[in-house]
Amino acid sequence: MTALLREGEATGTQCLVCKTPFRPFISFGRQPIANAFLRPDQVAGEFFFELTVGRCDACGMVQLGSLVDERKLFHEEYAFFSGTSKGMASHFERFARTMRGRLPSTDPLVVEIGSNDGIMLKHFAAAGIRHLGVEPSTNVADVARASGVRTVSRFFDEELAREIVASDGQADAILGANVICHIPYIHSVFGGVKLLMKPEGTFVFEDPYLGDVIEKTAYDQIYDEHVFYFSVSSLSKAFAMHDLEIVDVEPQSVHGGELRYTVQHRGAGAVSDNVVAQLRRESDLGLDRADTFERFRERVERSREDLVDLLRTTKAKGRRVVGYGATSKSTTVTNYCGIGPDLVEFISDTTPIKQGKLSPGTHIPVRPYADFQSRPPEVALLFAWNHAAEILAKESDFVAGGGRFIVYVPEVQFIP
Ligand code: SAH
Ligand code: TYD
Ligand code: ZN
């Protein structure tokens, strides 16, 4: 059963995992939908909600204080296409290869939750491996289907898991990247995994890691789609409620720092030392202490002042500033810091569906990459800082010509 929460409802805030009331430790004020790039005629009806995050004292889960209906976020005009980064394409090729090496030899089944444009599953499809993608956003799902990926356009939950078991049988591997933390009805998802996964099967997923968000002051990871900010400590408790356990964790450098979790039925596999080591790191980082999050809030406020100061002085020197990458993360930054077209002339982005639109809330025009190339600015504000390696390699001419990037994670600064 998909327990949809009412729109903008402050979970009032009750922990989505253990139902204990909690209070937000940070507010980003009124925010629009992070991926809702709009046409000028849509500005009048733009939707806003209060973006807050809190930590449940009882189970330690860090989560949003209010939610936006998933049907407002994931639909036939979803703006995020996984395949827009070459770095991510190779990451998912490696991920698929690793998983293939672990599959049993006889007719395995792989199910991916949030398969988007098929960036990962196409490698299973090409190898003739039985697979199914679960992807509610129909426009990205159509791209996956076009590359031979069998895809069902539904939201994954326990009910769908039951249907998949009936039609396809249980899965050897259930995969998910940047999606499990998006789904508020976490018990329905974990209950579904419990049903769908074979006795010896694995559930392998990766999501932005709370430790990285805190360590790097990466507050732009906080937006409507990211309902949970997972740690091993909080997730272990949630999985235990379903007789599931985390048997391995592996840090990933993508998207600003993630953790890949391998989960099995309780007792089905040995628990790696990595899990214990990561739990120790979490306690060293203070992820179990309220003051850690108070200090995070102070650093976020300072980051906002530093960024706005730097942009203002840069503009005062007569330099053109253009945004690089119309990321969903940038929606939190621009709205929280009050960065509009007065400070950032336009945002360059390679995704066709975003081009010609306005950034959510702050209405900065989004333009094709050709506009950046034909008339490069003096300064590029790197909203896609998580793809810095790929972008800096690609923009060596821009840098050689005197162009500079501003980043704000982990500190507000010019690079190179
Ligand atoms: N896995 C891809 C896409 C991440 S974006 C990657 O890492 O690049 C998150 C995707 O999850 C979106 O395509 C969205 O439509 C999908 N999604 C959101 N809620 C979902 C749910 N309940 N079940 C399955 N997919 C979901
Ligand atoms: P990303 O940081 O992956 O996602 P999120 O929306 O989750 O914050 O988004 C990267 C955006 O940047 C995407 O819209 C594509 C764009 N982009 C470019 O314009 N040029 C590039 O070279 C790269 C790598 C991305
Ligand atoms: Zn809780």
Please work out whether the CB of residue 196 comes within 6 Å of at least one atom of ligand 2: no
Query: What is the Å distance from ligand 3's center to 14 Cα?
Result: 8
Query: What is the Å distance from ligand 2's center to 84 Cα?
Result: 6
Residues 6+ apart with CB under 8 A from 301: none
Pick from 164, 218, 154, 155: which is nearest to 185 by CA? 155
Number of H helices, E strands in the chain: 14, 17
Model confidence, pTM:
0.96
* Pair 180, 112: CB distance under 8 Å: no
Ligand 1 atom at minimal distance to the Cα of residue 157: 22
Query: What is the Å distance from ligand 2's center to 145 Cα?
Result: 22
Confidence check: pLDDT of 2 > 60: no
Confidence check: pLDDT of 242 > 90: yes
Distance CA 209, CA 74 (A): 22
In this structure, the residue with its CA closest to atom 3 of ligand 1 is 116
Residues 6+ apart with CB under 8 A from 8: 49, 50, 66, 67, 68
Please work out whether the CB of residue 326 comes within 6 Å of at least one atom of ligand 2: yes
Confidence check: pLDDT of 356 > 50: yes
Model confidence pLDDT, tens digit, residues 140-175: 999 999 999 999 999 999 999 999 999 999 999 999
Question: Which SS3 state, helix, strand or coil, does residue 305 take?
Answer: helix
Please work out whether the CB of residue 386 comes within 6 Å of at least one atom of ligand 2: yes
User: Which residues lie near ion ligand 3 (Cβ < 5 Å)?
Assistant: 15, 17-18, 20, 56, 58-59, 61
Q: Which residue has the higher pLDDT, 367 or 10?
A: 367
What sign has the CA pseudo-torsion 254, 256, 257, 258? Answer: negative
In sequence order, what are the beta bridge partners of 208? Answer: 258
Model confidence pLDDT, tens digit, residues 199-215: 999 999 999 999 999 99
Confidence check: pLDDT of 313 > 50: yes
Please work out whether the CB of residue 367 comes within 6 Å of at least one atom of ligand 2: no
Percentage of the chain surpassing pLDDT 90? 97
pLDDT reported for residue 3: 36
Q: Which of 86, 349, 408 to mutate to test the pocket of ligand 2 (most atoms within 8 A of CB)?
A: 349
Confidence check: pLDDT of 285 > 50: yes
pLDDT reported for residue 12: 60
Residues 6+ apart with CB under 8 A from 366: 37, 326, 346, 347, 348, 349, 354, 355, 356, 357, 358, 359
Distance CA 199, CA 81 (A): 33
Q: What average pLDDT does the segment 40-44 reach?
A: 97
In this structure, the residue with its CA closest to atom 4 of ligand 1 is 178
Confidence check: pLDDT of 5 > 60: no
Residue 155's identity, in one-letter code, is F
Ligand 1, CB cutoff 6 Å, lining residues? 70, 74, 78, 80, 82, 113-114, 116, 119, 134-137, 140, 155-156, 177-179, 182-183
Please work out whether the CB of residue 89 comes within 6 Å of at least one atom of ligand 2: no
Confidence check: pLDDT of 415 > 70: yes
Share in percent of the chain as helix, strand, coil (round to 5): 40, 25, 40
Q: What average pLDDT does the segment 128-132 reach?
A: 98
Q: What average pLDDT does the segment 28-52 reach?
A: 97
Reported as a pLDDT band with limits 50, 70 and 90, residue 184 is very high
Q: What average pLDDT does the segment 389-414 reach?
A: 97
pLDDT reported for residue 416: 82
In sequence order, what are the beta bridge partners of 205? Answer: 176, 261
Q: What average pLDDT does the segment 371-382 reach?
A: 98
DSSP 8-state code for residue 19:
-
Confidence check: pLDDT of 4 > 80: no
Ligand 2 atom at minimal distance to the Cα of residue 384: 2
Query: What is the Å distance from ligand 1's center to 183 Cα?
Result: 9
Please work out whether the CB of residue 288 comes within 6 Å of at least one atom of ligand 2: no
Ligand 2 atom at minimal distance to the Cα of residue 220: 8
